[in-house]
Chains A and B, each alone.
Chain A
Amino acid sequence: MIEVKNLTKRYEDHLAVDNLSFTVKKGEILGFLGPNGAGKSTTMNILTGYISPTEGSIMINGIDMVKKPEKAKKCIGYLPEQPPLYPDMKVREYLDFVAELKGISGKDKRAEAVKEAMEKTGTGDVSERLIKHLSKGYKQRVGIAQAIVTKPEIVILDEPTVGLDPVQIIEIRELIKSFAIDHTVILSSHILSEISAVCDNVMIINKGKLIVTDTTEGLSKHLSVRNGIKLTLKGDETKAVDILNSMEGVEEVEIVKKEEDVIELNVYTSEGEDIRESIYFELAGARIAVLEQSALSMDLEEMFLEFIKKSEENSEVIPEEDEADAEEATVIEEEDPKPVNEGAKDVREEETKDESDL
């Protein structure tokens, strides 16, 4: 369906996308994950033929995007980072324009397609309002409606849930999942829960480079996670540590946090051992209360940070962020993990330096 080989985008002094290769099969939902300025938007802009690659090939349904752009573009519905809306148009008028632009001929056919897209995205009740008067969430939905109005085989969405409220986010996720039955979807996000909720496969990108690609479940295999249990206890600290250390199968006990007499600790065990039950009874016997007990595993958030950290340690030559993505970095979401925020600051400084009109 989509085949990308050795995709590279080089600006005068830096690499925005560095030798990216991947394939997406029909009916698959692929998630691009990466911090702001990682090259997600640039990659999507190249996939949709908005900007040209410096090197590499993109095949859409077996059609070469560089050689036959008009034909390849017809197969794609694209929601860029900033929804491409005309503020002075009404929603229905705008969607009708997009449908006609993308080659749906016949008034009735277009009206049908527009109606369906509005139903799916819940924009029917604002259909006669000017786009400039809509809220950010509705604008985003109209943007999504625009991408699916022609029922393209491939739908590419750049951060589709930005600006939506939690209920809408869930709706849009359901919508994206429902496309995937007969469409191929690529979406990008820097919010991990979104990717894990929607996507089959994940590609983590940082600084234009592919760091890892796998199924959402398979990601953890790439990191060495130690086997263990996370405990929250109430009682005497030294006594608890002594008991835990004396137990069979325990390799190491690590205190994470201590607040008055409530202690949080990680107990690392040898592989395959489940000692939760015995921990409970042993500690209860010593009148130490077990408030919480859970298996130690990395959630997606931690995994993501770990991947980014690992990749940065590995690469000695760090390419600079690209200008287009620097714009992206100015909108910093609260969900951003901290190190990303720090990175974004540099990008912002850079952006002010090389702003140009043309």
Chain B
Amino acid sequence: MKAIFKKEFRGYFQGIIGWFFLFFFLIITGIYIYVDNILGGYPNFEVVLEPVSLVLCFMVPMVTMRFMAEENKQKTDQLLLTSGVSVERIVLGKLLAAFALLAIALLFCCIVPPVLFVFGKVNFATAYGGILGFFLMGCAYITLGAFISCTTEHQILAAIVTYGVIFFTWLAQGVGNLFETDAHTAYVGIAILLLLVILAVHMLMKNSLITGITALLTEGTLIGIKLLKPSLLEGKLADVFGAFSVIGKMDNFLLGVFDLSAVIYYLTIIALFYFLSVQAIKKRRWN
């Protein structure tokens, strides 16, 4: 695992991607620090993180597109998978390297709050809480992108799909709020969303039995709720969309609140996509 971590981490800086990521990220962050904190004379660092999180959304697919797609393409996955290192450790080593890249970028940000002291009283707790939240959000996006890269051998395809998914998570909250809050809209909306998710899973896994059973169970439960207690569904469509809003969970951090539920949310996303990545690699070999 250590070998894989080292190789991946070095790989980011042997190619252009690692430098590009750091350069672009720090330049944009610097601009916002200049505008918000220095010109605006506002000592709270966390306000900078809001625009920067969009930059992160833009950068993540570039970092993760090669994750496994490149290995699949070059057939170097044969080396990794026959080396005696378990798939779990291979994926973990690679993920940690990507997390470390993000961490380096954020280490530079950690210097900023003490400097802002000249503009007034800095609340270190909210500033560093914001950076931690931001880091977790980044890790969640990275794991998501890594999973997509595990399912293909075309890195460009992986990047495009990751952009699509991230774009959706970005818009999700807003889209959810557009719908009416009555039970019937929620029922139809959720049913369609479920179908889309199941279809996506089916395309990735190519296992009709599993997707069939999942489809029956989930849609069945939904119909059950609609028939027995439709009031439960009221306003739920917005909630469902909200659950996809990875970026939306940052809101509290930006307001200076340390949101434990958001931390748990991000950790869950990371664990889920880590698990799915491992399964996707194993699945390719058991076919």
Q: Does A1 contact B (CB under 8 A)?
A: no
Query: How long is the Cα–Cα vector from A199 to B149 in the complex, in angstroms?
Result: 41
Q: Does A174 contact B (CB under 8 A)?
A: no
Kindly identify, within residues 55 to 91 of chain A, every residue whose CB is under 8 Å from any CB belonging to chain B. Answer: 69-74, 76, 78, 80, 82, 84-89
Question: Contact between A357 and B15 (Cβ–Cβ < 8 Å)?
Answer: no
Question: Contact between B84 and A50 (Cβ–Cβ < 8 Å)?
Answer: no
| The stretch of A99-107, A162-170, A313-321 that contacts the partner chain | A99-107
Question: Contact between A101 and B78 (Cβ–Cβ < 8 Å)?
Answer: no
Partner of A85, one of B74, B206, B284, B287: B74
- Least CB distance, A198 to chain B, in whole angstroms: 22
Q: Does A358 contact B (CB under 8 A)?
A: yes
Question: Contact between B75 and A84 (Cβ–Cβ < 8 Å)?
Answer: yes
Q: Does B204 contact A (CB under 8 A)?
A: yes
Chain B contacts of A48 at CB under 8 A? 82
- Least CB distance, B72 to chain A, in whole angstroms: 10
With most chain B CB atoms within 10 A of its CB, the pick from A48, A84, A89 is: A84
- Least CB distance, B56 to chain A, in whole angstroms: 25
Q: Does B121 contact A (CB under 8 A)?
A: no
Kindly identify, within residues 232 to 287 of chain B, every residue whose CB is under 8 Å from any CB belonging to chain A. Answer: 284-287
Query: How long is the Cα–Cα vector from A45 to B138 in the complex, in angstroms?
Result: 37
Q: Which residue of B lies closest to A156 (CB)?
A: B82
Chain B contacts of A220 at CB under 8 A? none
Chain A contacts of B83 at CB under 8 A? 73, 98, 101-102
Partner of B74, one of A45, A72, A86, A357: A86
Q: Does A295 contact B (CB under 8 A)?
A: no
Q: How would residues 156 to 176 of chain B score, 1 for a CB under 8 Å from any chain A CB and 0 otherwise?
A: 010000000000000000000
Question: Contact between B79 and A84 (Cβ–Cβ < 8 Å)?
Answer: yes
Chain A contacts of B231 at CB under 8 A? none
Query: How long is the Cα–Cα vector from A49 to B81 in the complex, in angstroms?
Result: 8
Question: Contact between B151 and A101 (Cβ–Cβ < 8 Å)?
Answer: no
Question: Contact between A70 and B152 (Cβ–Cβ < 8 Å)?
Answer: no
Question: Contact between B82 and A52 (Cβ–Cβ < 8 Å)?
Answer: no
Q: Which residue of A lies closest to B85 (CB)?
A: A101
- Least CB distance, B199 to chain A, in whole angstroms: 14
Query: How long is the Cα–Cα vector from A45 to B77 in the complex, in angstroms?
Result: 12
Question: Contact between B84 and A82 (Cβ–Cβ < 8 Å)?
Answer: no
- Least CB distance, A121 to chain B, in whole angstroms: 16
Q: Does A97 contact B (CB under 8 A)?
A: yes
Q: Does A51 contact B (CB under 8 A)?
A: yes
| The stretch of B3-11, B36-44, B112-120 that contacts the partner chain | B3-11
Question: Contact between B2 and A88 (Cβ–Cβ < 8 Å)?
Answer: no
- Least CB distance, B31 to chain A, in whole angstroms: 32
Q: Does A146 contact B (CB under 8 A)?
A: yes
Partner of A78, one of B2, B15, B78: B78
- Least CB distance, A238 to chain B, in whole angstroms: 62
Question: Contact between B3 and A100 (Cβ–Cβ < 8 Å)?
Answer: yes
Chain A contacts of B154 at CB under 8 A? 357
Partner of B15, one of A69, A70, A88, A97: A88
- Least CB distance, A54 to chain B, in whole angstroms: 10
Query: How long is the Cα–Cα vector from A73 to B76 in the complex, in angstroms?
Result: 16
Question: Contact between B152 and A358 (Cβ–Cβ < 8 Å)?
Answer: yes
Question: Contact between B79 and A146 (Cβ–Cβ < 8 Å)?
Answer: yes
Query: How long is the Cα–Cα vector from A102 to B78 in the complex, in angstroms?
Result: 13
Q: A101-B3, A357-B153, A358-B152 are in contact. Are A49 and B76 (CB under 8 A)?
A: no
Question: Contact between B78 and A358 (Cβ–Cβ < 8 Å)?
Answer: no
Query: How long is the Cα–Cα vector from A335 to B17 in the complex, in angstroms?
Result: 44
Q: Which residue of A lies closest to B205 (CB)?
A: A358
Chain B contacts of A98 at CB under 8 A? 79, 83
Query: How long is the Cα–Cα vector from A85 to B157 in the complex, in angstroms?
Result: 22
Chain A contacts of B86 at CB under 8 A? 70
Q: Does B80 contact A (CB under 8 A)?
A: yes
- Least CB distance, B120 to chain A, in whole angstroms: 48
Chain B contacts of A146 at CB under 8 A? 79
Footprint of A on B, CB under 8 Å? 2-4, 6-7, 11, 14-15, 74-86, 151-154, 157, 203-204, 206, 284-287
Footprint of B on A, CB under 8 Å? 11, 45, 48-52, 69-74, 76, 78, 80, 82, 84-89, 97-98, 100-103, 146, 357-358
Interchain residue pairs with CB less than 8 A apart (10)? A74-B84, A78-B78, A85-B76, A86-B76, A87-B74, A98-B83, A100-B2, A101-B79, A101-B83, A358-B203
6 new A-B contacts at CB < 8 Å, known A78-B79, A101-B3: A48-B82, A70-B86, A80-B75, A84-B78, A87-B74, A98-B79
